[in-house]
Amino acid sequence: MSFAGPSLASGGKTVRRAIEFGRTYVVKPKGKHLATVVWLHGLGDNGSSWSQLLETLPLPNIKWICPTAPTQPITVFGGFPSTAWFDVGDLSEDAPDDIEGLDAAAAHVANLLSTEPIDIRLGIGGFSMGAATAMYSATCFAARKYSDGSAYPANLSAIVGLSGWLPCSKTLSKKIGVDEAVRRAASLPILLCHGKGDDVVPYKFGEKSSRVMVSTGFQDTTFKAYNGLGHHTIPEEMDEVCAWLTSKLGLGRAFFMI
């Protein structure tokens, strides 16, 4: 799942290939700003479509940042370019992970969060490939480093993944192998949702991702299954996301604060 290229500096780290991220869309909080969540779209999409949906949610104290992934050649598309957070060869348990691309995407997200006020709670969410990037960011937060060894700077308070999968699942136990990393993993709330009718990212991938995360120390992981749901979202699922974020980010008593 990797392809070669030059270099990029983002989020205080350097990787080997040049990646140009697309436009970022921001949804400002309608009430008092208490939390900021970077939301990551799926393969072939952009930040605009999700920003329009997130703006309608009853979460007035959250600022949403919706970046657009770089346009890059995608192996599963025969090299045809598409907006993607990292390269994908195929969705199988034995497929190699694009570590370089994942590090670059996680660094870009961390960079977007780096300018937020110190008292604001920070989260990352996403759909499909965006969910995979959010889950990968969670592992970087716990380990306090990217896969290339450079420091991961963001202090995360919540992770949401819809219809996604966990990259680098086979090596996660090694990455979260020290006591300090296990403590950070246990402190991070994670919500994973997946439709049982998903024919793009199979339900078993989401279910297994949840099990692996719990077994490697992410004890505050909630997994929600939806009968008949394909590779898209529904109001019931977004209601669950709203209630969960309100609880985990401590927004309940701040509702519509100004």
Of 128, 157, 169, 209, catalytic = 128
128 catalytic? Reply is: yes
Distance CA(134)–CA(91), nearest Å, equals 17
Please provide the size of the chain in residues: 258
Of 49, 187, 220, 231, catalytic = 231
Distance CA(187)–CA(108), nearest Å, equals 23
Number of helical (H) and strand (E) elements in the chain, helices listed first: 7, 11
41 catalytic? Reply is: no
Pairing type for strands 62-66 and 35-40 reads parallel
Nearest to 64 by CA among 37, 33, 98: 37
Of 45, 87, 103, 198, catalytic = 198
Strand stretches in 52-120, DSSP E: 62-66, 71-73, 81-83
Element of type H or E holding 195 = strand 190-195
108 catalytic? Reply is: no
Active site residues: 128, 198, 231
